Amino acid sequence: MFLNGQSFEQLVQRLTTFEEKLKNRPDIVLAKYFKIQKTNDKSKCSICGKTNQKSIITPCNHIFHPKCIVEKIKNKQLKCLDCDKTYGNPPQPPGTFTKQIINQSCSGYEKTQTIEIVYDIPNGLQNGIHYRGAKHTCYIPNTKEGEELADLLKTAFDKGLVFTIGRSLQDGHKYQVQFNDLHHKTSLNGGKYGYPDATYINRMISELKQRLS
C-alpha cells in the first residue's frame, strides 16, 4: 500500500533516503509506506526463503522481509521479485520489435555493418486512457557485443520494460508512448542519440542485465 498516492519511483527515492538513515531498521522505513502484516510461521520470504513474523505482502500477494526488499528497491527493481509483476510506471502497450542488418555503419565502427531495430507501438487504449503510439528506429554496431545487446533489448521488450506511457517532452501530450529510461541510439552519427560512443554498448548491457535479473 503506497502513501498518499505516491508513484513507485517516488517511493524508491524516499525509501533509499530513509534507509540510509535507518540502515538497521528497514521495518521502520517501510512502515511509513507499506502495510506490514504479521504472517504465520509457514510464510517464507520470496528472497531469502526464511520465515519472519513481520513481512511485506505485495499487491500481487507475495511475501518479503522488509530488510530483503529494501536492498532490492535500492537497486530500483520496480517489480515483484517473485512473479515479475511490475509496479510504478504504466505498463508497456502492445507493439512489435523487428531487427535486421543494414549495410551502413555507425560512426566509430566504419568497417562494421549495423543492427537496425524498429519498435512500432500503435495508438491504443489502456485502462480507459487513449494513448499516442510511437515508432522508433535504433542502431547498434553489428559486433559480438552488439548482438548481445540486441538480444537483451528483445528480452526486455518482451517483458514490457522498454516503453511506458507519460507526458511528451516534445509537445506536452499527456499520454505518449516513450522509452522507459533506457537510452537508445536513434542516429548513426552525431549528437546525444548518435555515435560515436565507445562505452555505450557495455553500459547498456550492464543496465539491462540488472533490470532483467
| CA gap 70, 187 in Å, rounded | 38
Query: What is the per-residue burial (b if ≥16 Cβ within 10 Å, else e) of 19-35?
Result: beeeeeebbebbeebbe
| CA gap 123, 133 in Å, rounded | 4
Residue 186 pLDDT > 90: yes
Q: How confident is the model at residue 98 (pLDDT cuts 50, 70, 90)?
A: very high
| CA gap 130, 124 in Å, rounded | 6
pLDDT digits (tens, 9 = 90+) for 2-15: 444 445 555 555 55
Q: Which domains does the chain have, with CATH numbers?
A: 8-74 (3.30.40), 96-212 (3.30.390.130)
Q: What are phi and psi of 158, to 5 degrees?
A: -65, -30
User: Which helix (H) or strand (E) segment is 179 a member of?
Assistant: strand 176-179
Q: How confident is the model at residue 133 (pLDDT cuts 50, 70, 90)?
A: very high
Q: How confident is the model at residue 162 (pLDDT cuts 50, 70, 90)?
A: very high
Q: Which of 50-64, 107-121, 137-151, 157-171 has the lowest mean pLDDT?
A: 50-64
Choice between 56 and 204, residue whose per-residue pLDDT is larger: 204
Residue 135 pLDDT > 90: yes
| CA gap 137, 35 in Å, rounded | 43
Contacts of 173 (CB under 8 A, 6+ apart): 132, 167
pLDDT digits (tens, 9 = 90+) for 19-71: 444 455 555 555 554 555 666 656 777 777 777 666 666 656 667 776 676 66
pLDDT at 2: 40
| CA gap 167, 176 in Å, rounded | 6
pLDDT at 45: 77
Contacts of 55 (CB under 8 A, 6+ apart): 36, 37, 38, 39, 43, 45, 63, 64, 65, 66
Choice between 195 and 6, residue whose per-residue pLDDT is larger: 195
Mean pLDDT over residues 144-172, rounded? 92
User: What distance separates the 2 farthest-apart alpha carbons in the chain?
Assistant: 62
Q: What are phi and psi of 43, to 5 degrees?
A: -80, 115
